[in-house]
Amino acid sequence: MNTPFIKELRTGKVKQMGDKRAEDPLDREWESAIFKEERTGKVWLTKTGLEQDEVADTKVHGGPEKALFAYPIQHYAYWQQRLQKNSMVAGGMGENLVIDGVDEFMTFIGDIYRFGGAIIEVSQPRRPCWKPARRHRVLDLALQIQDTGRTGWYYRVLEEGYVEANVTLELIERPHPEWSIAAANEVMYVDKDNLRRAYELASCTALAPNWKRSLERRLRGRESSIERRVYGPNKD
Protein backbone atom coordinates (compact mmCIF):
# COMPACT_ATOMS: atom_id res chain seq x y z
CA MET A 1 0.00 0.00 0.00
CA ASN A 2 1.29 3.46 -0.89
CA THR A 3 1.68 5.73 2.12
CA PRO A 4 0.84 9.47 2.01
CA PHE A 5 3.72 11.67 3.13
CA ILE A 6 3.19 15.37 3.88
CA LYS A 7 6.19 17.19 2.40
CA GLU A 8 4.95 20.71 3.07
CA LEU A 9 2.26 22.48 5.08
CA ARG A 10 1.02 25.77 3.57
CA THR A 11 -1.28 28.61 4.59
CA GLY A 12 -2.13 31.95 3.03
CA LYS A 13 -3.96 35.22 3.56
CA VAL A 14 -6.43 36.84 1.18
CA LYS A 15 -4.70 39.30 -1.17
CA GLN A 16 -5.86 41.87 -3.70
CA MET A 17 -4.00 41.63 -7.01
CA GLY A 18 -4.15 42.92 -10.56
CA ASP A 19 -5.35 46.15 -12.14
CA LYS A 20 -9.09 46.79 -12.51
CA ARG A 21 -8.36 48.98 -15.55
CA ALA A 22 -6.46 46.26 -17.43
CA GLU A 23 -7.72 45.28 -20.87
CA ASP A 24 -6.79 41.61 -20.59
CA PRO A 25 -9.16 39.86 -18.17
CA LEU A 26 -6.22 37.80 -16.85
CA ASP A 27 -4.59 41.05 -15.68
CA ARG A 28 -7.65 42.54 -13.98
CA GLU A 29 -8.16 42.99 -10.26
CA TRP A 30 -8.90 39.84 -8.31
CA GLU A 31 -8.89 38.57 -4.75
CA SER A 32 -7.59 35.22 -3.58
CA ALA A 33 -5.66 33.30 -0.92
CA ILE A 34 -4.23 30.90 -3.50
CA PHE A 35 -0.69 32.08 -2.79
CA LYS A 36 0.17 30.03 0.30
CA GLU A 37 3.47 30.08 2.17
CA GLU A 38 5.25 27.08 3.62
CA ARG A 39 4.87 26.68 7.37
CA THR A 40 7.38 25.13 9.74
CA GLY A 41 6.76 23.61 13.14
CA LYS A 42 3.40 22.62 14.56
CA VAL A 43 0.23 24.32 13.33
CA TRP A 44 -3.20 24.01 14.94
CA LEU A 45 -5.75 22.29 12.68
CA THR A 46 -9.38 23.23 13.35
CA LYS A 47 -12.61 21.82 11.91
CA THR A 48 -12.43 24.46 9.15
CA GLY A 49 -8.72 24.37 8.39
CA LEU A 50 -5.24 25.37 9.45
CA GLU A 51 -4.80 28.27 11.81
CA GLN A 52 -3.91 31.46 9.88
CA ASP A 53 -5.21 30.08 6.58
CA GLU A 54 -7.88 32.07 4.74
CA VAL A 55 -10.20 31.79 1.74
CA ALA A 56 -11.51 34.69 -0.31
CA ASP A 57 -14.87 33.38 -1.53
CA THR A 58 -16.51 31.55 1.35
CA LYS A 59 -19.47 30.53 -0.83
CA VAL A 60 -17.39 28.06 -2.82
CA HIS A 61 -14.18 27.64 -0.84
CA GLY A 62 -13.35 26.59 2.69
CA GLY A 63 -15.71 25.27 5.35
CA PRO A 64 -15.77 21.91 7.13
CA GLU A 65 -15.95 19.82 3.92
CA LYS A 66 -12.92 21.62 2.44
CA ALA A 67 -10.80 22.10 5.53
CA LEU A 68 -7.59 20.87 3.89
CA PHE A 69 -6.70 20.77 0.21
CA ALA A 70 -4.04 18.22 -0.76
CA TYR A 71 -2.22 18.10 -4.08
CA PRO A 72 0.30 15.45 -5.20
CA ILE A 73 3.75 16.91 -5.75
CA GLN A 74 4.43 14.58 -8.68
CA HIS A 75 1.77 16.33 -10.78
CA TYR A 76 3.91 19.46 -11.08
CA ALA A 77 6.45 17.78 -13.39
CA TYR A 78 3.52 16.91 -15.67
CA TRP A 79 2.20 20.47 -15.68
CA GLN A 80 5.64 21.95 -16.29
CA GLN A 81 6.05 19.78 -19.37
CA ARG A 82 2.50 20.15 -20.66
CA LEU A 83 2.25 23.91 -20.20
CA GLN A 84 5.95 24.75 -20.60
CA LYS A 85 5.81 26.65 -17.31
CA ASN A 86 8.65 26.21 -14.84
CA SER A 87 6.64 28.34 -12.40
CA MET A 88 4.34 25.35 -11.79
CA VAL A 89 5.94 24.15 -8.57
CA ALA A 90 4.76 22.89 -5.17
CA GLY A 91 2.11 25.24 -3.79
CA GLY A 92 1.09 26.30 -7.29
CA MET A 93 -2.46 25.00 -6.94
CA GLY A 94 -3.04 26.73 -3.61
CA GLU A 95 -2.82 23.51 -1.63
CA ASN A 96 -2.49 23.26 2.14
CA LEU A 97 -0.81 19.86 1.94
CA VAL A 98 1.94 19.15 -0.56
CA ILE A 99 1.57 15.38 -0.55
CA ASP A 100 3.83 12.63 -1.86
CA GLY A 101 3.48 8.88 -2.27
CA VAL A 102 -0.16 8.81 -3.38
CA ASP A 103 -2.37 10.23 -6.11
CA GLU A 104 -6.04 10.24 -7.12
CA PHE A 105 -5.99 6.49 -7.85
CA MET A 106 -4.65 5.64 -4.37
CA THR A 107 -6.88 7.94 -2.32
CA PHE A 108 -10.51 7.06 -1.54
CA ILE A 109 -13.62 8.93 -0.41
CA GLY A 110 -14.02 8.31 3.31
CA ASP A 111 -10.39 7.39 3.98
CA ILE A 112 -9.67 8.29 7.62
CA TYR A 113 -6.10 9.16 8.60
CA ARG A 114 -4.23 10.13 11.72
CA PHE A 115 -2.33 13.33 10.92
CA GLY A 116 -0.15 14.28 13.87
CA GLY A 117 -2.54 15.07 16.70
CA ALA A 118 -5.57 15.32 14.38
CA ILE A 119 -7.87 12.89 12.57
CA ILE A 120 -8.85 13.74 9.00
CA GLU A 121 -11.16 12.16 6.38
CA VAL A 122 -11.18 12.41 2.59
CA SER A 123 -14.38 14.23 1.61
CA GLN A 124 -14.28 14.97 -2.14
CA PRO A 125 -12.14 15.68 -5.19
CA ARG A 126 -11.40 19.31 -5.87
CA ARG A 127 -13.62 20.91 -8.49
CA PRO A 128 -11.17 23.36 -10.09
CA CYS A 129 -12.24 26.97 -10.56
CA TRP A 130 -10.89 29.93 -12.52
CA LYS A 131 -8.35 31.07 -9.93
CA PRO A 132 -5.48 28.67 -10.76
CA ALA A 133 -6.01 29.75 -14.39
CA ARG A 134 -5.63 33.39 -13.38
CA ARG A 135 -2.55 32.66 -11.30
CA HIS A 136 -0.79 30.75 -14.08
CA ARG A 137 -2.29 32.70 -16.98
CA VAL A 138 -3.74 29.64 -18.74
CA LEU A 139 -7.36 30.39 -19.65
CA ASP A 140 -8.61 26.81 -19.75
CA LEU A 141 -6.50 25.45 -16.88
CA ALA A 142 -9.55 24.46 -14.82
CA LEU A 143 -10.77 22.30 -17.69
CA GLN A 144 -7.33 20.78 -18.15
CA ILE A 145 -7.13 19.95 -14.45
CA GLN A 146 -10.48 18.17 -14.39
CA ASP A 147 -10.04 16.48 -17.78
CA THR A 148 -6.66 15.01 -16.81
CA GLY A 149 -7.98 13.91 -13.41
CA ARG A 150 -5.12 15.70 -11.66
CA THR A 151 -7.48 17.51 -9.32
CA GLY A 152 -6.20 16.80 -5.84
CA TRP A 153 -8.70 16.31 -3.03
CA TYR A 154 -10.08 17.70 0.22
CA TYR A 155 -10.17 16.46 3.80
CA ARG A 156 -12.65 17.21 6.54
CA VAL A 157 -11.36 17.29 10.12
CA LEU A 158 -12.88 14.75 12.51
CA GLU A 159 -10.64 15.63 15.46
CA GLU A 160 -8.71 18.87 15.85
CA GLY A 161 -5.06 18.85 16.83
CA TYR A 162 -1.54 20.06 16.08
CA VAL A 163 -0.06 18.98 12.74
CA GLU A 164 3.24 19.52 10.95
CA ALA A 165 5.08 18.66 7.73
CA ASN A 166 7.51 15.80 7.09
CA VAL A 167 5.18 13.21 8.57
CA THR A 168 3.40 10.14 7.21
CA LEU A 169 -0.37 9.88 7.37
CA GLU A 170 -1.53 6.77 9.20
CA LEU A 171 -4.54 5.08 7.60
CA ILE A 172 -7.18 4.20 10.20
CA GLU A 173 -10.10 3.14 8.04
CA ARG A 174 -11.04 2.75 4.35
CA PRO A 175 -14.82 2.22 4.18
CA HIS A 176 -15.25 2.92 0.45
CA PRO A 177 -12.46 1.23 -1.54
CA GLU A 178 -14.71 1.33 -4.61
CA TRP A 179 -14.62 5.14 -4.71
CA SER A 180 -11.15 6.43 -5.42
CA ILE A 181 -10.80 10.12 -6.16
CA ALA A 182 -10.08 9.08 -9.76
CA ALA A 183 -13.31 7.06 -9.95
CA ALA A 184 -15.33 9.97 -8.54
CA ASN A 185 -13.76 12.33 -11.09
CA GLU A 186 -14.61 9.90 -13.89
CA VAL A 187 -18.28 9.89 -12.88
CA MET A 188 -18.42 13.67 -12.56
CA TYR A 189 -16.51 14.66 -15.71
CA VAL A 190 -16.15 11.71 -18.11
CA ASP A 191 -18.86 9.06 -17.80
CA LYS A 192 -21.61 11.65 -17.45
CA ASP A 193 -24.33 9.61 -19.15
CA ASN A 194 -24.00 6.72 -16.72
CA LEU A 195 -26.79 7.60 -14.31
CA ARG A 196 -26.43 4.35 -12.39
CA ARG A 197 -22.87 5.24 -11.43
CA ALA A 198 -23.96 8.79 -10.59
CA TYR A 199 -26.60 7.38 -8.25
CA GLU A 200 -24.10 5.02 -6.63
CA LEU A 201 -21.59 7.82 -6.03
CA ALA A 202 -24.30 10.13 -4.67
CA SER A 203 -25.20 7.35 -2.23
CA CYS A 204 -21.68 7.20 -0.79
CA THR A 205 -22.16 8.27 2.83
CA ALA A 206 -18.74 9.94 3.15
CA LEU A 207 -19.06 12.08 0.01
CA ALA A 208 -19.32 15.83 0.64
CA PRO A 209 -22.88 17.25 0.40
CA ASN A 210 -22.07 19.64 -2.43
CA TRP A 211 -20.95 16.73 -4.63
CA LYS A 212 -24.11 14.83 -3.71
CA ARG A 213 -26.23 17.82 -4.73
CA SER A 214 -24.48 18.11 -8.10
CA LEU A 215 -25.04 14.44 -8.82
CA GLU A 216 -28.67 14.61 -7.69
CA ARG A 217 -29.27 17.53 -10.08
CA ARG A 218 -27.85 15.39 -12.88
CA LEU A 219 -30.17 12.55 -11.95
CA ARG A 220 -33.12 14.96 -12.19
CA GLY A 221 -31.90 16.21 -15.57
CA ARG A 222 -31.10 19.65 -14.18
CA GLU A 223 -27.31 19.73 -14.28
CA SER A 224 -25.96 23.28 -14.21
CA SER A 225 -23.38 24.83 -16.56
CA ILE A 226 -19.70 24.76 -15.55
CA GLU A 227 -18.89 27.96 -17.49
CA ARG A 228 -18.95 30.27 -14.49
CA ARG A 229 -16.82 27.95 -12.38
CA VAL A 230 -14.09 27.21 -14.89
CA TYR A 231 -13.81 30.62 -16.59
CA GLY A 232 -15.30 33.12 -14.12
CA PRO A 233 -14.12 36.66 -14.87
CA ASN A 234 -11.12 35.40 -16.89
CA LYS A 235 -13.23 35.40 -20.03
CA ASP A 236 -15.21 38.37 -21.37
pLDDT along the chain (236 residues), means of 10: 92 95 94 96 97 88 94 98 95 98 98 98 97 96 96 98 98 98 97 96 97 96 90 89
User: For residue 235, what pLDDT is reported?
Assistant: 87
**Strands of the 49-50 sheet, one edge to the other:** 49-50, 43-46, 161-163
Q: What is the pTM of this model?
A: 0.96
Q: Report which of 109, 149, 151 is spatially closest to residue 129, judged by C-alpha positions.
A: 151
User: For residue 1, what pLDDT is reported?
Assistant: 58
* Level-2 CATH architecture, domain 5-234: Beta Barrel (2.40)
Helix residue ranges, H only, the chain: 75-83, 130-136, 141-148, 181-185, 195-202, 209-219, 227-231
